[in-house]
Amino acid sequence: MAEQLERRTERAPARFGGLDYAPAPEATDHVQLRADHGLLIGGRWVEPASERRFKTISPATEEVLAEVAEAGEEDVDAAVKAARAAYTKVWSRMSGAERAKYLYRIARILQERAREFAVLETMNGGKPIKESRDVDVPLAAAHFFYHAGWADKLDYAFPGRRPAPLGVAAQVIPWNFPLLMAAWKLAPALAAGNTVVLKPAETTPLTALRLGEVIQEAELPEGVVNILTGAGATGAALVGHPGVDKVAFTGSTEVGKAIQRTLAGSGRKLTLELGGKAANIVFEDAPLDQAVEGIVNGIYFNQGHVCCAGSRLLVQESIAEPLVDKLKRRMATLRVGDPLDKNTDVGAINSRAQLDKITELVASGEADGAQAWQAPCELPARGFWFRPTVFTHVAQSYRIAQEEIFGPVLSVLTFRTPDEAVEKANNTPYGLSAGVWTDKGSRILDLASRMQAGVVWANTFNRFDPTSPFGGYKESGFGREGGRHGLAAYLDLS
Ligand code: NAI
Ligand code: MG
């Protein structure tokens, strides 16, 4: 395994499953990279009072793309005050129909600039261009369109209640869907009449900053959206600021718990969307080829940097062998490498820290006695990469069956009866998502009702839609995002 993990230097054309592919790189000349970025506070780009900056890189090449500001406490204070002023003077007084116009504008500009956003997302985050192009950017626009539609219909969304905005929302987001998470958080907050201070993740600030430009282009009143770049200390200063009325966080369970402690007793509203360890459950009557596609999409999509990734495969014992064989054959055809190449299926790991975490957990799986198999593929010389990996002979107690790996690593377990499948699926500290593959509708309904998971997909996986509430049980957090449920999290309904 140590040898298998060794980085190779050879580049394309690579051979995948016996086929040669010529490189098909997406053009990048339409994306103007700015050398440095300020903070968006009160409608203007300003230099950080902290006078600190940090570099942001491409995880596929380790090249520096830009420098961004690191917001300190003074910057956080200025941003929260700007958001408060915008809230009291403008945004909370504006009619819902007026607010909707701004959201529609943002959605349309995102569509017009879709290519630029997709390329920038892929450069800064390492995800394959076909995902940022076909999933992240269209869904980000869809979230603005969807919530624009609610802005003037809040009384209809919550009949008999008097929905009122909460005030200033602090939103801290992760690096796995940088633009989509920003849209996912901003759209409902703004539709409901709140103003926002948003903090993107330190490894992927560039699309959130560019969204700041879109927000200016859409002529949102100054201070309605403020964007602060920085790392954990900036996030902690923001969520702990007394001028904040609502906190929304997506990220690690560890930080989620720390934020919960900070806010305890403050009366401020909090939603947390944390990690996951989803089970993808395949019964013997499932269409196996379709299931294999679902399993691959479930765990190798976005390099497994997905909180709801199907990171455990629970397969009925009678079909375990043929299913795992099919899966390995399919994995051998996955194209790993340059995320800007339109043929790439699996891109770069987002950061060296994340690669180290994946490598450490995979080593623990081997030490525990599980058997690893890796897709045979060449890895680029520079950047952060991990081969798609599948573990068999996995016991429920192993760390690879309990902990979130957040990488392209699947753990296979088996079961005999539906009861055993439910018990094993629920046997982790998490409860974000699950998948069921079977021909029987009654079995889908039965399992869905017994699984402790906020989302249960049936005969599909990793499907997202702004109309559908998303969120977890147990250590996966609380509160829902998307749909009417997500809107409610930004409103006072008393
Ligand atoms: P993280 O939770 O440290 O970072 C997420 C966001 O929180 C970033 O914007 C970060 O700057 C901010 N942050 C960090 N410390 C903070 C604090 N004390 N107060 C307020 N904000 C803070 O996640 P990290 O370290 O990037 O990843 C660690 C693990 O977390 C991953 O390996 C994965 O297992 C999980 N994770 C889960 C995500 C999800 O979608 N639920 C997303 C990202 C990571
Ligand atoms: Mg962290």
pLDDT of residue 494: 86
Q: Are 390 and 408 in contact (CB under 8 A)?
A: no
* Model pLDDT, residue 7: 36
For position 252, what pLDDT does the model report? Answer: 97
Q: Which of 176, 203, 255 to mutate to test the pocket of ligand 1 (most atoms within 8 A of CB)?
A: 255
Task: State which fold the 276-458 domain adopts.
Answer: Aldehyde Dehydrogenase; Chain A, domain 2 (3.40.309)
pLDDT of residue 3: 42
Transcribe 235-303 into DSSP letters.
Answer: HHHHHT-TT-SEEEEES-HHHHHHHHHHHTTS--EEEEE-----EEEE-TTS-HHHHHHHHHHHHHGGG
Residue 9 has a pLDDT of 35
232 lines ligand 1 (CB under 6 A): yes
Domain formed by 36-274+476-492, architecture: 3-Layer(aba) Sandwich (3.40)
279 Cα distance to chain centroid? 18
* CA pair distance 277, 298, nearest whole angstrom: 11
User: Tokens standing for 314?
Assistant: 């629970």
Among 456, 368, 356, CA closest to 411: 368
Does ligand 1 come within 6 angstroms of the Cβ of 274? yes
Reduce the DSSP state of residue 458 to 3 states and report it. Answer: strand
User: Is 307 part of the annotated catalytic residue set?
Assistant: yes
Give the separation between CA 142 and CA 100, rounded to whole angstroms.
14
Supply the pLDDT for residue 363.
98
Question: For residue 335, how far is its CA from the centre of ligand 1 (angstroms)?
Answer: 28
The series of mean pLDDT values per 10 residues for the chain, 494 residues long, is: 39 53 89 93 98 98 98 98 98 98 98 98 98 98 98 96 97 98 98 98 98 98 98 98 98 97 95 96 97 96 96 98 97 96 97 98 98 94 97 98 98 98 97 97 97 96 94 93 95 94
- Determine the pLDDT at residue 221: 98
| Phi/psi of residue 225, nearest 5 degrees | -125, 125
Is 397 exposed, middle or buried (CB count within 10 Å of its CB: 0-12, 13-18, 19+)? Answer: exposed
